[in-house]
Structure 1
Amino acid sequence: MAIKSDGTTLYLTRDIAAAIDRQREYSPSQSLYVVCATQSFHFEQLFAILAKMGFSWVQNLKHIKYGTVNGMSTRNGTVVFLEDILDEAYKTMHDVMKSNPKRYSEIEDPEAVANALAISAIVVQDFSAKKIKDYEFSMSRMTSFEGDTGPFLQYTHVRLCSIARKATPDTMAISPDSNLIRSELGENGLVLQVAKKLALFPLIVTDSCQNHEPNTLVTYLMSLSHSLSSLLEQLPVLQAPTPEAASARLAFFSAARQVLANGIILLGLPLLKHM
């Protein structure tokens, strides 16, 4: 059936027409339908019908499935709108920031920072598991600075940014090369572990993009951030025994910060340098 008894069309009918029109108008190399997994049968029908109609370009159509957020249902009247989630996350992050009056007074634009943290919290929670998996929405969990959360990612980046701002003139005067970094840091097992993770970044991005799976990138960034947090405790730049050691540490953390920043930006998140 393509048309209802009252003359109106079905979703499937309109999707067939839209796919054909889109192909004629734009000739895309690939069309991705990012729709909930509950609609899988609909897209199986759509692609099968287009194939039966003789359209070879149907092989370029793909259904990108994602799970549902438990506790929210339009049919049951428990739906929560994104605007409300953003507002609540913003208020939560702003309240957390204001709990430290001294630090809060030093932030140039606390409202903008709270907003960036709120967006990061929501997006990272959504990407924290494979997209096909359902998950339970939790405001308290996603706005925490502990665990695998958006605020934790931002906090780690801010810590790395502060290192360069606080570096002494003696440290900044030295231009570290690979030999200096190797001699000062090469014996540290955690440094080697982090270095290997940094080298994996291009492969992680490629895998995440090819498989349409942002969780791959988020999982990598969380692992990197936890390792960097431990390394920052082991190898503080300001307390380094020599300017050479401080310079080597600063160079290494600067490289790590750049990778972390690139990952945060790829997730579509604002990048915080002060908090």
Structure 2
Amino acid sequence: MSTSVYSRYRAAFAQALATALGVPAADIEAQVKPAEPAHGDLSFATFPLAKAQKKAPPAIAAGLAQSLSVPGLEIKAVGPYVNARFPTLPFTAEVIDAARGAGIRYGGDEDAGRGKTVAIDYSSPNIAKPIGFHHIRTTFLGHCIANIYRALGWRVEGINYLGDWGKQFGLVAVGFQEYGDPARIDDMGHLVEVYVKANKRAEAEPEFDEKARAFFRRMEAGDAEALKLWNQFRDTSIKGFKKIYARMGIEFEHIEGESRYQGKMDAVIDQIAKKPGVKESQGALIVDLPYAENEPPILLKKNDGSTLYATRDLAAAQDRYERFQFDKSLYVVAQDQALHFRQVFRTLKEMDLPWADRAVHVAFGRIHGMSTRKGQVVQLNDVLDEARERVSVKVRENVEAGRIQTDDADALSEQIALGAIAFGDLKHKRASDYTFDWDEVLSFEGHTGPYLQYAHARAVNVLRKGGGAPASYDAALLTLPEEQALLREIMRLPEVVRDAAEQYEPSLVARLLLDVASALSRYYTLGNQERDKRINVEGNDALRSARLALIDAARVTLAAGLTLLGIPTPDNM
């Protein structure tokens, strides 16, 4: 397995400490932490050793520091801590070469997950309905997590598990019979109009709602006419969905739905009946388990015999294991569904399925404050359109002023808009709620997608003005504090990507990219104050080449990280 610059030095420092203390390196490595920047890069606290050695922690640290020698590290004691710092060489060249050598794959490690498979269930809209803005979290989070696992060498089976079964399709069907135009059955917008009308009517008229339920029972019974109409609705919806996913640069390995398990659920129920057991409750069939006070039971069949989400999810979980033999099965679904997934996973465990503990609910919080110029019914495509329109005004102003050179202002506006909306979501910890704010999301300054895209474009422009990225350079010349600070941010991407995979937390990558962009900005602006600190410094070709190599490494880091987040990287902004 390949190791990053940081992890290699960290492991060497831990091994040296372990040898000096006579303990296994594994016992020490977890105790090696990032140091306070003023004191070094790595730190080991000696407090836990004081009792056994009967010495004060500062004395222990001083003795350890004096006894350690690790190539590439400067080691010294600072109070009770043993600290290690990365000197200019060979650290500088190692970081730059690692980033430039990997290119767009920087941050990944194809060996890390070799031979492992992860199934990721995400996005999952309902057919005959538009993809709403509320789907942004599952869609972007799932896409980013899939990208991260691919970068780490896992085989990814991305599943768009459509809501394509249930009473709501009875509503669309009976609604279409009342309000639909057969000539427009291939029109997604028309199906949405029909569904809205039918849903309102069903709420007001119990008889109409019963018609929808009856239609769904026909579907479950395999009625050919009912299934033909349902298939037409499904095909129309998938075509509409694919256009939006293509706009966002998202592809799935599998687009399938709950309907896949129609006809297969009795077998699952029979299996559950053997262990842990089933029983009737108020005419419905439930999993026979002890339940907490006020906990609703796990329903397998309603009193009219129709199946529910839990039944289908149990069937889907088994089917996915049989197909993919996964090492992990992730469900990127809102926190609101936490009870549902706890119950599904609990049932799988009670069925004694050996892979049950590989299923993980990757939960996320809500978005507040979203509205568009078109009103309160918020469709994702409308949000992307509005973002593009708002960005387009800024782009055209900059093109006319000569600040942006582009042959296609519309395409650039689309890239920036997508980056703004995606990053506006991904920068937040997934478990937290957040409030959507147009001005914040679309700003070219601050913690935003356009800010990161601009940082990338600026790096490209600096390289362009300098004649391109140099083939060779002298890393020993990169001694400015701002250069070393930027290197340390570049160095972090591989570690952060691994942490993001372990925690299912794309915001870690997003926040690291903000740190890289901020460090790059501080470095770039030095030249505005002192000419000899300009990146494209005049009269010193060797220094200019070294600085351009660093800028190239920063460009690569931003491009690789943004690509993991599913965000475009324009070269001009």
Q: TM-score, normalised by structure 2?
A: 0.44
Q: Is the 8 A contact 1:32 1:64 kept in 2?
A: yes
CA gap 1:95/1:16 in 2 versus in 1, 3 angstroms:
same
- The match for 1:29 is 327
Separation in 2, partners of 1:55, 1:266: 33
- The match for 1:216 is 508
Separation in 2, partners of 1:150, 1:166: 24
Q: Is the 8 A contact 1:34 1:65 kept in 2?
A: yes
Matches within 5 A, 1:89-100: 89-100=387-398
Question: Of the candidates 346, 352, 367, which is equivalent to residue 69 of structure 1?
Answer: 367
- The match for 1:126 is 425
Q: Which has the larger radius of gyration?
A: 2
CA gap 1:207/1:174 in 2 versus in 1, 3 angstroms:
closer
Tell me how far 1:212 sits from its aligned partner: 0.9
Tell me how far 1:87 sits from its aligned partner: 0.2
Tell me how far 1:237 sits from its aligned partner: 2.5
Tell me how far 1:72 sits from its aligned partner: 5.2
- The match for 1:273 is 571
Indicate the structure with greater strand content. Answer: 2
Residue 229, structure 1, aligned to residue 521, structure 2: yes
- The match for 1:4 is 302
Q: Is the 8 A contact 1:72 1:79 kept in 2?
A: no
Separation in 1, partners of 2:486, 2:408: 32
Equivalent position amino acid for 2:520 in 1 = L
- The match for 1:85 is 383
The percentage of aligned residue pairs carrying the same residue is: 35
Equivalent position amino acid for 1:44 in 2 = R
Q: Is the 8 A contact 1:65 1:131 kept in 2?
A: yes
Tell me how far 1:27 sits from its aligned partner: 2.1
Tell me how far 1:103 sits from its aligned partner: 2.7
- The match for 1:112 is 411
User: SS state of the match for residue 66, structure 1?
Assistant: coil
Question: Of the candidates 548, 552, 559, which is equivalent to residue 250 of structure 1?
Answer: 548
Q: Is the 8 A contact 2:338 2:363 kept in 1?
A: yes
- The match for 1:195 is 487
Separation in 2, partners of 1:50, 1:200: 38
Tell me how far 1:205 sits from its aligned partner: 1.0
CA RMSD between the two structures: 2.1
User: SS state of the match for residue 273, structure 1?
Assistant: coil
Equivalent position amino acid for 1:140 in 2 = D
Matches within 5 A, 1:12-27: 12-27=310-325
Tell me how far 1:6 sits from its aligned partner: 1.8
CA gap 1:236/1:53 in 2 versus in 1, 3 angstroms:
same
CA gap 1:173/1:45 in 2 versus in 1, 3 angstroms:
closer
Which shifted more, 242-251 or 39-48? 242-251
Separation in 1, partners of 2:393, 2:405: 15
Tell me how far 1:105 sits from its aligned partner: 7.3
Equivalent position amino acid for 1:84 in 2 = D
- The match for 2:338 is 40
Q: Is the 8 A contact 1:97 1:104 kept in 2?
A: no
Matches within 5 A, 1:259-270: 259-270=557-568
Separation in 1, partners of 2:493, 2:459: 18
Residue 177, structure 1, aligned to residue 470, structure 2: no
Q: Is the 8 A contact 1:30 1:60 kept in 2?
A: yes
Separation in 2, partners of 1:172, 1:116: 25
- The match for 1:142 is 441
Q: TM-score, normalised by structure 1?
A: 0.90
Q: Is the 8 A contact 2:424 2:441 kept in 1?
A: yes
Which shifted more, 3-12 or 97-106? 97-106
Q: Is the 8 A contact 2:474 2:542 kept in 1?
A: no
Tell me how far 1:152 sits from its aligned partner: 0.4
Q: Is the 8 A contact 2:469 2:552 kept in 1?
A: no
Indicate the structure with greater helix content. Answer: 1
Q: Is the 8 A contact 1:157 1:257 kept in 2?
A: yes
Separation in 2, partners of 1:193, 1:239: 20
Separation in 1, partners of 2:377, 2:426: 20
Which shifted more, 3-12 or 82-91? 3-12
Separation in 1, partners of 2:545, 2:496: 29
Separation in 2, partners of 1:172, 1:59: 48
Q: Which runs of 5+ in 1 are unaligned?
A: none
Tell me how far 1:54 sits from its aligned partner: 1.2
Separation in 2, partners of 1:79, 1:68: 16
CA gap 1:268/1:173 in 2 versus in 1, 3 angstroms:
closer
Separation in 2, partners of 1:91, 1:165: 30
Q: Which runs of 5+ in 2 are unaligned?
A: 1-285, 287-299, 527-532
Shift >4 Å, 4+ stretches? 171-174
Q: Is the 8 A contact 1:4 1:10 kept in 2?
A: yes
Report the number of matched residues: 265
Question: Of the candidates 446, 456, 466, which is equivalent to residue 167 of structure 1?
Answer: 466
User: SS state of the match for residue 306, structure 2?
Assistant: coil
Which shifted more, 109-118 or 96-105? 96-105
Tell me how far 1:10 sits from its aligned partner: 1.6
- The match for 2:41 is none
Equivalent position amino acid for 1:8 in 2 = S
